[in-house]
Structure 1
Amino acid sequence: MFRKYYIVAISAIVGLCFAIGGSFFSQVNAQQSPRIPTVNTNQANAVDLAFVNEAAQFGLANIMLGEMALQKSTNPSVQKFAQAEIAEQQNVKQQLTRIAPQLQVTLPTAPGPKYQALMQRFSQLSGTQFDTAYLDEGGINAHLEAASLYQREAAFGRNPSLLTVANQGLPIINQHFTIASSLTSYRFAQVPRRYNEASAPTAPSAQ
C-alpha cells in the first residue's frame, strides 16, 4: 500500500517537473527565437527623398503647362492630352501630399527654375507653334524624363508607398508618351510598364 502511494507521489513530482520545465524552455525558446523584422512604412533612403522632391516639382510644372495648353491651344487633340496630363499629375500630387508628412518632408510649392524658364518661353508662343512646343516638351521630353525618374525610384527606392507611386505611374507615363508620339510622329523605345519589365525597342526617329 505504501508502495502504491510512493509511486503515485513520484509520478506527481515528475509530472510537475515536466510542466515547470516545459514552461521554462518555452520562455527560453521565445527569448532566443529571432523576431521577424517589421517593415517601417516611414523608412526612406536618399533615392526616395529625391523622388519626392523631383516628382512634386515635375507634377506642379506639368499641371501649369497643361492649364496653359487649355487656354492657348485650339487643337482638340492637344486639349485632350493636356486634360489627361493634368489629371495624372493631380493624382500624383495627392499621393505625395499624403506620404510626405510620414517622411517629415515638405513638398515644394512651386516648380524649380528649369520649369519656370520653360513656362516663360511657352507664354510667348501661340497657335501651332505653341502646340508643337507643348507636345515636344510636355509630351515627349517630359515623359522621357518622368520615365527615368520613376524607374530610378522603382529600382532603388525603399519606401513602400513611394514604390507604389512609381510602379503605378509607369504605365500612365507610357500611355501618355505613346499618345504624344502619335501626335508628333515621334518614335522611340516604349517605356516599360514596371521596372525590369521587358519592352520591344524600336529604332528612334523624329520628324
Structure 2
Amino acid sequence: MNTKSMAMGLLMVLALTNASLAQQTNSTMSSGSTSKVGNESMSAFDSQNKKGAAAVAAVTPNSAKLSTADQDLMMQVAKGGMMQLEASRLAVQNATNDQVKALAQAEVDEQTGLSAKLQEIASAKGVTLPTSPDAETQAVLTKLQSATGMSFDRLYLTESGVKGHEKLDSVMSMVESKATDPSMKNLAKAAHPLVKTHLKVARQIMNAM
C-alpha cells in the first residue's frame, strides 16, 4: 500500500471513530435527559412522589363542621390544586422537554390524589367544592393553549411550576398554622413536602433551560 492510500485509510478510521464517539455522546445526553428531573434522579423523584401520595391517601376525614375561616382555606387549596392539575394536563400533552413532561406527569398524579382526598373531606363535612376553573386559572390555561415548543415549556414552568407552587406553598403553610380542623391540618402536612419538592425541581429545570 502506498503512502497516499495509507493516509486515506487513516482518515477514514479517524472519521468513523469520531462518528462513533459523537453517537455515544448523543446517546448519553439523550438518556440523561430522562434519567433526571432537575437535580433529582428519576428514581429519587419517583420515590418522593410515591411517598407524598401515600401520605395524602392516609389522611382520615372527620365529619365536624368547618369554621368559615377553614372553609375559605379549603377553597384556596381546591382552586390552587385545580389550576395545577389542568395546566399540568396540558403540559403532559404539549411539553417538548422530557424533564418538563416528567414534572407535569408527577403534578397530575399529585393533584389528582390531593383533589380526591379534598373532595372526601369536603363531602364528610357537607361542603361543596368548585367544579370548574376560576377566572385566574382560565387565563393561565388560555395562555398555555396558545403557546408551543420551548415557549410552552417555559410558560408552564413559570405559571405552574414556580408561581403555582409558590401559591400552594403559601396556602399549605396557612392551613398548617391557622386551620383548626384536624382533617385540613393533616392534609396540609401530608401534601406540603411534595409541593416544596415540585417547586424546587421546577426552579432547577428552569435554571437549566
List per-residue Cα deviations over 1:60-98 (Å, max 9, x = no partner).
Answer: 221111111111112110110001111111111111111
Letter in 1 for 2:144: F
Superposed counterparts of 1:103-182, under 5 Å = 103-182=125-204
Structure 2, gaps ≥5 residues long: 1-61
Q: Map 1:1-207; keep pairs closer than 5 Å.
A: 41-185=63-207
Select the structure that is richer in helix: 2
Mark the runs of 5 or more structure 1 residues left unpaired by the alignment.
1-39, 187-206
Q: Partner of 2:128: helix, strand, or coil?
A: coil
Q: In the alignment, is the contact (CA less than 8 A) between 1:58 and 1:111 conserved in 2? A: no
1:158-184 deviation per Cα after TM superposition (whole angstroms, max 9, x unaligned): 111111111111101110011001111
- Of structures 1 and 2, the larger Rg is shown by 1
| Alpha-carbon distance between aligned partners in 2 of 1:170 and 1:107, rounded to the nearest angstrom | 20
Aligned mates of 2:92, 2:192 — CA distance in 1: 24
Structure 1 CA distance for aligned equivalents of residues 90 and 140 of structure 2? 12
> TM-score, structure 1 length as denominator?
0.68
CA contact (8 A) 2:69 2:179 kept: yes
- Deviation at residue 45 of structure 1 after TM alignment: 2.1
* Identity across matched positions, percent: 28
Partners of 2:69 and 2:148 lie apart in 1 by: 38
Question: Could you tell me the TM-score, scaled by structure 2's length?
Answer: 0.67
Shift of 1:41: 4.9
Name the CA shift for 1:122/1:180 in 2 (closer, same or farther; >3 Å): same
One-letter amino acid of the structure 1 residue matched with residue 155 of structure 2: A
Higher RCO by CA contacts (8 Å cutoff, separation 6 or greater) = 2
Q: Which runs of 4+ in 1 moved over 3 A?
A: none
C-alpha RMSD over aligned residues: 1.6
**Is the CA contact 1:74–1:127 (under 8 Å) kept in the aligned structure 2?**
yes
Partner amino acid for 1:119?
Answer: L
* Paired residues, number: 148
Do the aligned residues in 2 keep the contact of 1:43 with 1:158 (CA within 8 Å)?
no
